Amino acid sequence: MTEKPVALIVLAAGQGSRMQSDLPKVLHRLGGLPLVAHALAAGRVLEPQAVVVVAGHGAPAVAKAVAKLDPDAQIALQDQQLGTAHAVSQALPALKGFEGRVIVLYGDTPFIGQETLASLAAHPADVVVLGFEAADPGRYGRLVTGPEGLERIVEYKDADEATRAIRLVNSGVLAADAALLRAFLPRIGNRNAAGEYYLTDLPALAREAGHRVEVVTCDEAETLGINTRTELAQAEAAFQARARAQALEDGVTLADPATVWFALDTCIGRDAVIGQNVVFGPGVTVESGAEILPFCHLEGCHVSAGATVGPFARLRPGAELGGDVHVGNFVEIKNSVLDEGVKVGHLTYLGDAHIGEATNIGAGTVTCNYDGVGKHRTEIGAHAFIGSDTMLVAPVRVGARAMTGSGSVITQDVPDDALALGRAQQVTKPGLATRLMQALRQKKGN
């Protein structure tokens, strides 16, 4: 997308003490995924050659989460949090041999737009700082610009009244050529009140050496950083509002938009219909024309065109629903494939199973997939009929066009076209019900 190759450095080492949490700040969830996932997702538009995440506080947990989000990302460790310039310097060894544009992002700043990142990557200046016009500049560092671009960044505590009146402020996000970072980061000192090495000193050093330093601006909303639980809640509300608006614009019907909750990676096709109070966890794809009825929870699943789900259904990771599948109320599906036209009406659990096309699953059916140690699979062929209240004790296979009687416990494979009955013989005792109830009432009266 750019003339120069791009690498990303994502700063994610901070503790986030104002969150009042043992969890590293960048692992708090927004849109169903850790905060750091948003920075990584935004950066993917640049097709970076390398991604380095700088971890510090809770580094093992951060590294584990990043490995799931982006297996190709590298982790750099910042044992001591000595400032942003120090953090970037810890990442540079992972970029050995890289020559191109490096963009420094923050793991707790989730809303940087793809267009903004593209502007940073493509800008011809040697150093590009991302700024914004603040409604309330407060204690942000001010960006002092002139005819030749960015002249300096002035921290609030060091600014005079004229400088504090400037509304163009620093977001902290910065882009610079890799060679320039290698040359100038070692020159940044820590002679300040905090004794830290600040990346904000880089632009002035570069300009003094004759390099071109410029500012790219974005909307203030893109720079929202998360430092407290209140800010996290506000960010969640902003994220959901954007996701709902985007879904409507994309041709998705939301019966009551305010009650539908999306994840960062939710993918819904046009003409899908989403009912009230539906929650999408991470990893959900709903194809065009499918319908999710009210009060459903979906995570890590795929719903094909023409399928209907709910109300009150739960699709867990690994659930794959084929075209025109019907999953009804109080049905839970986990790590199972339902081929085209399968019907699972209600009150059923299907785990670690493959259900063949046009099969009907009766109410109360359970795949007994766990023996206390390991999980086992259930295979049901096409056009089978599973009677209500059938317990399928895995591993087990029910053949094509086969049937099970209601109330059966199936522990052995059922051949194609066969009927399986696995229940105790009924015994009837005439008059015993009346005599038993009379005896119980008499005992209670005593």
DSSP secondary structure of 55-80: EBTBHHHHHHHHHHH-TT-EEEE-SS
Any domain includes 266: yes
Tell me the residue length of the chain. 446
Share above pLDDT 70 across residues of the chain, in percent, rounded to a whole number: 99
Residue 355 has pLDDT above 90, yes or no: yes
How many Å apart are CA 23 and CA 59, to the nearest integer? 11
CA-atom Rg of the chain in angstroms: 30
Mean per-residue pLDDT, 379-396: 98
Feature table: binding site for UDP-N-acetyl-alpha-D-glucosamine: 11-14, 25, 78, 83-84, 106-108, 141, 155, 170, 227, 316, 334, 349, 360
* Residue-level pLDDT at 307: 98
Mean pLDDT of 165-179: 95
Report which residue type is found at 368: C
372: left (phi over 0), alpha (psi -120 to 50) or beta: left
User: 208 with 266, same domain?
Assistant: no
In a domain, 63, yes or no: yes
* pLDDT at position 1: 42
- 369, two tokens: 């997939």
Which residues are annotated binding-site positions for acetyl-CoA? 363, 369-370, 388, 406, 423
Same domain, 259 and 381: yes
- Residue 191 counted as domain residue: yes
Q: Which of 167, 191, 223 is the last residue of a domain?
A: 223
Tell me what the mean pLDDT of segment 83-91 comes to. 96
Q: Is 359 in the same domain as 253?
A: yes
Count: domains in the chain? 2
Task: Output the domain CATH number for residue 374.
Answer: 2.160.10.10
Distance, CA of 74 to chain centre: 19
Find the mean pLDDT for residues 330-335: 98
Three-point CA angle 25, 29, 35, nearest 5°: 60
What is the arithmetic mean of pLDDT over 308-321?
A: 98
Report the Cα 343 to chain-centroid distance in Å: 30
Residues 191 and 288 in one domain: no
Rounded CA-CA distance 404/61 in Å is: 47
Q: How far apart are CA 418 and CA 420, in angstroms?
A: 6
**Residue 46 domain-assigned?**
yes
Q: Phi-psi bin for 26: left (phi > 0), alpha (psi -120 to 50), beta?
A: alpha
For the cut 80, the answer to whether the pLDDT of residue 335 exceeds it is yes
Asked if residue 242 and residue 211 are part of one domain, the reply reads: no
According to the model, what pLDDT value does residue 340 have? 98
Predicted pLDDT of residue 353:
98
C-alpha–C-alpha distance, residues 132 and 60, integer Å: 34
Number of separate helices (H) and strands (E) present in the chain: 9, 35
The answer to whether residue 425 is domain-embedded is: no
Q: Looking at residue 446, what is its pLDDT?
A: 60
Let me know if residue 59 belongs to a domain: yes
Whether residue 309 has pLDDT greater than 90: yes
Whether the predicted pLDDT of 193 surpasses 80: no
Of 177, 36, 215, which Cα lies nearest the Cα of 98? 177
Query: What pLDDT, in 10s, does the model give residues 404-440?
Result: 999 999 999 999 999 999 998 889 999 999 999 999 9
* Residue numbers belonging to the annotated binding site: 11-14, 25, 78, 83-84, 106-108, 141, 155, 170, 227, 316, 334, 349, 360, 363, 369-370, 388, 406, 423
Q: 51, 74 in Cβ contact below 8 A?
A: yes
- The helix (run of H) or strand (run of E) holding residue 326 is strand 326-334
The 10s digit of each residue's pLDDT in 224-282 is 999 999 999 999 999 999 999 999 999 999 999 999 999 999 999 999 999 999 999 99
Claim to verify: residue 217 and residue 280 sit in the same structural domain: no
Residues 379 and 405 in one domain: yes
pTM of the predicted protein model: 0.90
* Interval 14-36 mean pLDDT: 94
State the burial class of residue 361 (Cβ atoms within 10 Å of its Cβ: 0-12, 13-18, 19+). buried
326 catalytically annotated? no
Q: Has residue 442 been placed in a domain?
A: no
pLDDT of residue 166: 94
The DSSP-derived string for 141-205 is PEEEEETTEEEEEE-GGG--HHHHT--EEEEEEEEEEHHHHHHHGGG----STT----GGGHHHH
For the chain, the average pLDDT equals 95
Question: Are residues 172 and 244 located together in one domain of the fold?
Answer: no
CATH number of domain containing 26: 3.90.550.10
Q: Are residues 201 and 278 both part of a single domain?
A: no
Q: Residue 112 sits in which domain range?
A: 6-223
Does one domain contain both 186 and 56?
Answer: yes
Percent of the chain at pLDDT > 90 equals 90
Active-site annotation holder among 38, 211, 346, 383: 346
Residues 247 and 359 in one domain: yes
The domain boundary residue, chosen from 208, 223, 238: 223
Residues belonging to the binding site for Mg(2+) are 108, 227
The reply to whether 233 and 344 lie within a common domain is yes
Indicate whether 201 belongs to any domain.
Answer: yes
148 has pLDDT over 90: no
What tokens does 392 get?
């399928």
Average pLDDT, integer, range 363-374: 96
What's the whole-number mean pLDDT along residues 199-203? 93
- Tens digit of each residue's pLDDT (9 = 90 or more) over 126-140: 999 999 999 988 889
Tokens of 371: 């023996």
Answer with the one of 188, 223, 258 that is the final residue of a domain.
Answer: 223
